Chain A
Amino acid sequence: GAGVSQSPRYKVAKRGQDVALRCDPISGHVSLFWYQQALGQGPEFLTYFQNEAQLDKSGLPSDRFFAERPEGSVSTLKIQRTQQEDSAVYLCASSLGFQGTTGANVLTFGAGSRLTVL
């Protein structure tokens, strides 16, 4: 598609429920990122994929957070046993990747999925 697509745009979950957030990156983009953005804050890095390989998950706040990108395209961020502090906007971004580029690596972001945990 023309841009990064995320679904659902809004999700309300009861505390303790599991949620899954989907990201469709731009076709052909090698790199995929997940960010978490709390109200009034800048986006915080969660995890990074290069194709299907998860190369960096240093930003995942706990083992309740899990991300996958099994075929190197669509990615899913799963949050198990949601807590109120998980309420945030979850942003997905993709890029062509750095290999072979001579310029900067520009990330294209989706509109985000807003998660509210009650």
Chain B
Amino acid sequence: DAKTTQPTSMDCAEGRAANLPCNHSTISGNEYVYWYRQIHSQGPQYIIHGLKNNETNEMASLIITEDRKSSTLILPHATLRDTAVYYCIVRVKPQDYGGATNKLIFGTGTLLAVQP
């Protein structure tokens, strides 16, 4: 699986948009980009995923560059409850596992601190 690079930490003011970048320059054509977050003392929580098109759900938006070498997770109106570690992960499409383990490989993520 392709390796991802994320900033160690970021700050964001409450009510403003939080833009979390992720570099995945070695991503393959059959790999999805996933975002999970982990709030203190909880397990990781799925946020969103995408292949090559931009995606939006009730939690966030995912912007993937045309060459797919980087992406940005956008939390449109950050709240204090969004303070967490955000993980960007790339993973082979399920149809292409070929029997291999469909595990997620986490890095150290970005600690987003939302300030009041």
Contact = CB atoms under 8 A, between A and B. Distances in A.
Interface of A: 4, 31, 33, 35, 41-45, 48, 55-56, 58, 91, 93, 95, 97-98, 101-112
B42 A98 contact: no
Given A48-B103, A58-B101, A93-B44, 4 more contacts: A91-B43, A110-B43, A111-B43, A112-B43
B contact residues, range? 20 to 34
The CB with the most chain A CB atoms within 10 A, among B49, B103, B106, B108, is that of: B103
Interface of B: 32, 34, 41-46, 49, 85, 87, 91, 93-95, 97, 99, 101-109
B106 to A, nearest CB: 4
Contacts of B105: 45
| B-side interface mostly | loop
Given A31-B102, A33-B103, A111-B43, A102 B95 contact: yes
Contacts of A112: 42-43
B74 to A, nearest CB: 19
Nearest to B85: A42
A44 B95 contact: no
A46 B99 CA distance: 18
Contact of B43 (A44, A55, A93, A95): A93
The CB with the most chain A CB atoms within 10 A, among B32, B85, B102, is that of: B102
14 contacts: A42-B87, A43-B106, A55-B99, A56-B101, A93-B43, A93-B44, A95-B102, A97-B102, A103-B94, A104-B34, A105-B102, A106-B49, A107-B44, A112-B43
A74 to B, nearest CB: 17
B101 A111 contact: no
B107 A104 contact: no
Nearest to A106: B46
